[in-house]
């Protein structure tokens, strides 16, 4: 049986400003993978890129590579869906042009088509529809319930050559699924030039006309705009786009992204889906939306600020750290603080910059020294690594809260080896294969002869080695955790004892005890490194424990939080640093990602 509804967001030529993966998202709470009326959701994304996966993509070209539980490397938009809906997707939820062509070619090679001529229509289009049918039935939440709704995001621009097979596939599919089971949403930008202040509807009219010419007529037109649409503008779009005025949905600029689901609900989108798709009504689930509204209201009332220095090599393009930024935002909201991220290009912290551009050098160090906490996220390549090591050294010596993720953890070990153990040439073999102190080495998990196949990818289990670890307490005092990985290099296990003797403790290891997963420094308020990427499992009301620990420490609240058994009440207003008793400085009750005890 097919999931009862399918929604297909399309975009006009001005698609980038329309908000890929954000604007057309169903208004669901992050505490459940269902909408506020209790309908279970499945998700499938369509990408026009001629690639099988995001493996090997540049971080600074089209945003981060988001990693799923099964190791799938996908577009960052799927991360947005996971965070908002609190679901767990697989690599098959992401269908690219490269994937579908590879799938069809492999079938042809195996003789499945019995020697027939393989064509875009019907073979490619049929394969797309079959893929959707399969994914629509696969549960994506912890309940294991078969989805009632499958949300499909068709990326790209109406009229793109790459999108044509997908559009044709869904033109056919709407008749197979029947109208009562198929809903088409078109996402469009309504620009408003500052010179005139007039809201322009031509891009929307043209894109809908072209889409209808291809055989798909939108049921809802979602307009992304700076300001609320005037009534006359809505009526104009309604007239030219063949929809009722109530089917023209305005998504204008709001104070935070958390208000977008509320904005959609206010305009009757939920009720429209209930009646249009004949979905069951479960009013009790509206409590999720109420909880979401409380979170959005609290976000707007934040007064205190916590600043985090993000030291990386891709800081000019924030989408390179999309999940990291969201994880910081979730944790800052959990402690009722505004988040201020100070982006620092790690190369600007290096001595060579002092000689070439002293102003940039001093500005970078001023940002670093004035931040409440320091974060060194993951990355690849040698450029800027010495600057990251300089930042880590400063955090260690000044007892500044520090979190290193993936490469950030590896460089923390390199810095400690150089400046505490006296191994001055200590390095990663990624950057210096001939170093006499290889503290970080290549530990491939798969076929080393295949680029993209050598990484340790997906969800892996980490076992805690001690009961007194800060990270263990932040993870709910469980014996193990499960987080997502994406790396080739790891701390050299041969040198583990030498490092631990000097106070750098490897409190988390893999199940075989060969891979160092979590490191903590003795005699430091919060100096933590994790080899995995905890940001991929952070949720708006279920923040990632490592990031939450960093924000707590940066706000001066970590020690009290730990003393209270990591279970502070919503009204607890204690602050180690300021003693603030403002209601806006409360720490909320939190739910961390659940850990199965199998």
Burial class (CB in 10 A: 0-12, 13-18, 19+), 92: middle
Half-sphere exposure of 471 (CA within 13 A, CB side): 30
341 forms bridges with which residues in the sheet?
308
Distance, in Å, from the CA atom of 27 to the CA atom of 41, rounded to the nearest integer, reads 11
Distance, in Å, from the CA atom of 587 to the CA atom of 158, rounded to the nearest integer, reads 46
Active site residue 533: yes
Q: At what angle do helices 407-419 and 385-397 cross, to 10 degrees?
A: 70
Helices (H) and strands (E) in the chain, counts: 19, 21
Active site residue 535: yes
Distance, in Å, from the CA atom of 24 to the CA atom of 159, rounded to the nearest integer, reads 20
Residue 6 dihedral angles phi and psi, to the nearest 5°: -130, 130
Which one from 150, 153, 533, 586 is the annotated catalytic residue? 533
Burial class (CB in 10 A: 0-12, 13-18, 19+), 584: middle
Cis omega (within 30 of 0) for bond into 488: no
Strands 504-510 and 516-521: antiparallel
- Contacts of 33 by beta carbon, 8 Å cutoff, 6+ apart: 40, 41, 85, 86, 87, 140, 141, 143
CA distances (Å), origin 80, targets 20, 54, 171, 540: 9, 16, 27, 11
CA distances (Å), origin 489, targets 135, 252, 376, 440, 552: 34, 44, 16, 6, 29
CA distances (Å), origin 476, targets 197, 284, 479, 587, 594: 52, 29, 9, 16, 9
What burial letters (b/e) apply to 44-81, b meaning 16+ CB within 10 Å? bbbbbbeebbbbebebeeebbbbbbbebbbbbbbbbbb
149 forms bridges with which residues in the sheet?
5, 41
User: How does DSSP classify residue 2?
Assistant: -
238 Cα distance to chain centroid: 34
Which one from 150, 250, 406, 566 is the annotated catalytic residue? 406
Q: At what angle do helices 202-213 and 231-241 cross, to 10 degrees?
A: 20
Distance, in Å, from the CA atom of 9 to the CA atom of 210, rounded to the nearest integer, reads 14
| DSSP H stretches of helix in 178-247 | 202-213, 231-241
Strands 516-521 and 527-530: antiparallel
Active site residue 294: no
Which one from 73, 168, 535, 586 is the annotated catalytic residue? 535
Residue 256 dihedral angles phi and psi, to the nearest 5°: -155, 160
Q: Give the residue numbers annotated as catalytic, written as ranges.
A: 406, 533, 535
């Amino acid at each position: 049986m097919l999931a009862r509804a399918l929604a297909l967001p399309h975009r006009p030529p001005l698609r980038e400003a329309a908000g890929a993966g954000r604007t057309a998202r169903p208004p669901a709470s992050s505490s459940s993978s269902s909408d506020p009326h209790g309908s279970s959701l499945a998700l499938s994304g369509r990408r026009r890129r001629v690639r099988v996966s995001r493996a090997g993509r540049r971080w600074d070209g089209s945003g981060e590579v988001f990693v799923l539980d099964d190791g799938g490397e996908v577009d960052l938009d799927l991360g947005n869906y996971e965070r908002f809906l609190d679901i767990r997707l697989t690599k098959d939820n992401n269908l690219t042009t490269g994937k579908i062509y590879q799938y069809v070619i492999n079938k042809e090679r195996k003789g499945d088509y019995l020697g027939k001529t393989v064509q875009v229509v019907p073979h490619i289009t049929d394969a797309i529809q079959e893929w959707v049918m399969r994914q629509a039935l696969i549960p994506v939440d912890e309940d294991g319930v078969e989805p009632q709704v499958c949300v499909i995001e068709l990326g790209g621009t109406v009229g793109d050559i790459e999108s044509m097979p997908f559009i044709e596939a869904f033109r056919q599919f709407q008749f197979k699924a029947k109208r009562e089971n198929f809903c088409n949403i078109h996402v469009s930008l309504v620009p408003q030039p500052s010179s005139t202040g007039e809201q322009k509807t031509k891009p929307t009219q043209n894109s809908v006309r072209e889409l209808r010419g291809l055989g798909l007529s939108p049921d809802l037109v979602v307009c992304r705009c700076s300001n609320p649409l005037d009534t006359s503008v809505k009526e104009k779009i309604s007239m030219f786009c063949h929809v009722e005025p109530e089917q023209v949905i305005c998504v204008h600029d709001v104070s935070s992204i958390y208000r977008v689901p509320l904005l959609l609900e206010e305009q009757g989108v939920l009720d429209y889906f209930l009646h249009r798709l004949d979905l069951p009504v479960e009013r009790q689930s509206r409590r999720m939306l109420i909880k979401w509204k409380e979170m959005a209201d609290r976000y707007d009332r934040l007064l205190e600020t916590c600043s985090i220095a993000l030291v990386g090599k891709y800081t000019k393009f924030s989408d390179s750290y999309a999940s990291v930024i969201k994880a910081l935002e979730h944790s800052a909201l959990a402690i009722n603080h505004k988040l201020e991220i100070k982006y620092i290009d790690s190369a600007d912290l290096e001595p060579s910059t002092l000689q070439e551009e002293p102003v940039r050098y001093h500005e970078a160090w001023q940002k670093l020294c004035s931040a409440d906490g320091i974060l060194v996220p993951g990355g690849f390549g040698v450029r800027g690594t010495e600057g990251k090591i300089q930042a880590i050294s400063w955090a260690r010596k000044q007892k500044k809260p520090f979190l290193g993720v993936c490469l950030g953890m590896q460089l923390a070990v390199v810095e400690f080896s150089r400046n505490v153990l006296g191994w001055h040439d200590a390095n990663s073999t990624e950057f210096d294969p001939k170093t006499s102190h290889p503290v970080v080495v290549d530990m491939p998990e798969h076929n080393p002869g295949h680029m993209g196949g050598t990484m340790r990818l997906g969800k892996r289990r980490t076992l805690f080695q001690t009961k007194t670890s800060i990270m263990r307490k932040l993870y709910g005092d469980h014996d193990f955790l499960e987080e997502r990985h994406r790396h080739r290099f790891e701390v050299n296990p041969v040198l583990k004892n030498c490092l631990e003797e000097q106070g750098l403790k490897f409190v988390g290891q893999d199940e075989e005890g060969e891979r160092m997963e979590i490191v903590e420094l003795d005699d430091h308020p919060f100096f933590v490194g994790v080899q995995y990427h905890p940001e991929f499992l952070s949720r708006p009301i279920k923040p990632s424990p490592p990031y939450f620990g960093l924000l707590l420490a940066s706000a001066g609240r970590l020690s009290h939080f730990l003393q209270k058994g990591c279970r502070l009440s919503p009204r607890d207003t204690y602050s180690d640093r300021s003693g603030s008793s403002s209601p806006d400085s409360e720490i909320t009750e939190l739910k961390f990602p659940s850990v199965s005890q199998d």
